[in-house]
Amino acid sequence: MSRPAVGSADRALVLVLALQKGRVLSVREAAVDLGVAESSAHRLLSTLVGRGFATQDSTRRYIAGPALRGPEVPSVSRDDLVVVADPVLEYIHNSVGATVHLVVREGQDVIYLSGLEYSETALRVGLRIGQRMPAYCTASGRALLADLPNHEVESLYRRGLPPWSSARLATLTALKRRLATVRKDGYASSFHETEHGVVS
């Protein structure tokens, strides 16, 4: 009677280890890895989501959830992060005279959590709070990706860069070159890749 439970636990651990290594999984890929039906893989992934071991990105694929984010990273809610960061955003906003955002990376995406809009220019850049965008196309996303070692970037994009209509980077090799420049310069930039006419 215990064998099915053990088998399910073993399969769940296989998925947890894959996600922990930075893999991005579709239900089909998980099913192939485990040698089970897609319906079974979907149930296992849904269980991992419910327990915080997995979450879904903007393409509905599965990535590591908060329970798999290393012990060196304190557990801070997004609301707490916004409260702490808002005074810093206000300072930067007032100092440079530009729209500013607070973002976090989740898998291959960045999520805009907070921001302040600067409206005293002819070209206004609107707030994107709540939006997801591919990390490799945004300045903030590139800055966050540049903080990862190359092997983690390679694992994250093992199936290539997700399509984005205005993307200027088309391959993992090009992205790694750009991230090397970001690390050297200490900042990241994006030219017309998230919105026409916008440089960040």
Distance CA 148, CA 122 (A): 37
Tens-place pLDDT, residues 73-105: 444 567 777 777 888 888 888 888 878 888 888
Domain with CATH 1.10.10.10 in the chain: 8-68
pLDDT at 2 over 60: no
SS3 at position 183: helix
Percent of the chain at pLDDT exceeding 70:
82
Distance CA 44, CA 21 (A): 18
Domain boundaries 78-185, corresponding CATH code:
3.30.450.40
Candidates 1.10.10.10, 3.40.50.1000, 3.30.470.20, 3.30.565.10; CATH matching 8-68: 1.10.10.10
pLDDT at 77: 66
pLDDT at 121: 60
pLDDT at 80: 74
Q: Average pLDDT of the chain? A: 80
Percent of the chain at pLDDT exceeding 90:
14
Domain with CATH 3.30.450.40 in the chain: 78-185
Tens-place pLDDT, residues 145-182: 998 888 888 988 888 888 877 777 889 999 999 999 99
Length of the chain in terms of residues written: 200
pLDDT at 30 over 50: yes
pLDDT at 8: 72
pLDDT at 120: 67
pLDDT at 73: 44
What values do phi and psi take at 91, rounded to 5? -65, -45
Distance CA 192, CA 19 (A): 32
Average pLDDT on 51-67 reads 81
Distance CA 65, CA 15 (A): 12
pLDDT at 131: 83
